[in-house]
């Protein structure tokens, strides 16, 4: 039975890296909102066109558009045996819509990566990304490990912006954690550890849910 996973965590928690790693190991797609929005816009689909109009105007994409784009992506054959959601849901409305859309015996597993704020600030303020493909660089790297591109700091990774992003996360997105916390399929993982240990803890947390459901 496949796993249907939502990966949660604040900026700098490493959820994108861990989501991609887990998806690769399980042979299931990682569905990232950033990637999927770009794909939807490039495809010229009805939802993609609507998203482009909103983004070009500098506004946030509505729950209705995001839900439509995500559910269309999850309807594709490669997600039939499971998926990892990275960056969705971001609102309780999106989480409720995902519950309504999902069916089948596989549970929705939710993993929240917890990291102290000062660790997040330190990580984000020293983080480098590839100027070509946007991949976050591994520690001490001099070029992108994925494409060999030059590394640069994100424009939103200066100290003042970082603290504002974390404040917004605490104010808005943490409601998603509370929405899921009471479920038997919810797990928290200590993200203030080496990547290998975080990955092992995530795998163990998901296995504990799957073991209960078997």
Catalytic (active site) residue 90: yes
Distances (CA, A) of 144 to 125, 130, 140: 18, 6, 11
Among residues 4, 21, 30, 90, the one annotated as catalytic is 90
Burial letters 131-168, b for 16+ CB under 10 A, else e: eeeebbbeeeeeebeeeebebeeeeebeeeebeebbee
Residues 33-85 pLDDT 10s:
878 787 878 888 887 888 888 777 767 778 888 898 899 899 999 999 999 99
Among residues 52, 127, 146, 163, the one annotated as catalytic is 127
Q: Above 90 in pLDDT, residue 96?
A: yes
Out of 7-21, 59-73, 106-120, 195-209, pick the least confident. Answer: 59-73
Catalytic (active site) residue 15: yes
Among residues 38, 146, 163, 165, the one annotated as catalytic is 165
pLDDT at 155: 66
In degrees to the nearest 10, what's the CA dihedral of 120, 121, 125, 127?
0
Residues 140-169 pLDDT 10s:
788 998 899 999 887 656 788 888 888 888
Q: Above 90 in pLDDT, residue 170?
A: no
Considering the chain, what percentage of its residues have pLDDT values greater than 70?
94
Catalytic (active site) residue 127: yes
Catalytic (active site) residue 165: yes
Among residues 52, 146, 154, 163, the one annotated as catalytic is 154
The mean pLDDT value of the chain amounts to 87
Fold entry, domain 4-213: Rossmann fold (3.40.50)
* Confidence category of residue 1, pLDDT binned at 50, 70, 90: low
pTM (2 d.p.): 0.81
pLDDT at 214: 39
Burial letters 200-211, b for 16+ CB under 10 A, else e: ebbbebbeebee
Considering the chain, what percentage of its residues have pLDDT values greater than 90?
51
* Confidence category of residue 173, pLDDT binned at 50, 70, 90: confident
Catalytic (active site) residue 154: yes
Q: Above 50 in pLDDT, residue 7?
A: yes
Among residues 15, 26, 30, 73, the one annotated as catalytic is 15
pLDDT at 74: 93
């Amino acid at each position: 039975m496949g796993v249907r996973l939502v990966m949660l965590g604040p900026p700098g928690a490493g959820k994108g890296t861990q989501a991609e790693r887990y998806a690769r190991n399980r042979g299931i797609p990682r569905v990232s909102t950033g990637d999927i929005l770009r794909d939807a816009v490039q495809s010229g689909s009805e939802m993609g066109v609507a998203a482009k109009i909103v983004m070009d105007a500098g506004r946030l994409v509505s729950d209705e558009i995001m839900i439509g784009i995500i559910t269309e992506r999850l309807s594709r054959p490669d997600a039939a045996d499971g998926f990892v959601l990275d960056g969705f849901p971001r609102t309780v409305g999106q989480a409720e819509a995902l519950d309504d859309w999902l069916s089948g015996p596989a549970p929705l597993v939710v993993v929240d990566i917890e990291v102290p704020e000062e660790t997040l600030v330190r990580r984000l303020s020293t983080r480098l990304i590839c100027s070509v493909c946007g991949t976050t660089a591994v520690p001490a790297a001099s070029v992108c490990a994925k494409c060999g591109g030059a590394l640069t700091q994100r424009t939103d990774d200066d100290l003042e912006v970082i603290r504002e992003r974390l404040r917004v996360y605490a104010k808005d997105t943490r409601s998603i954690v509370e929405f899921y916390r009471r479920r038997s399929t919810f797990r928290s993982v200590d993200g203030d550890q080496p990547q290998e240990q975080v990955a092992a803890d995530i795998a163990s947390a998901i296995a504990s849910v799957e073991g209960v459901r078997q």
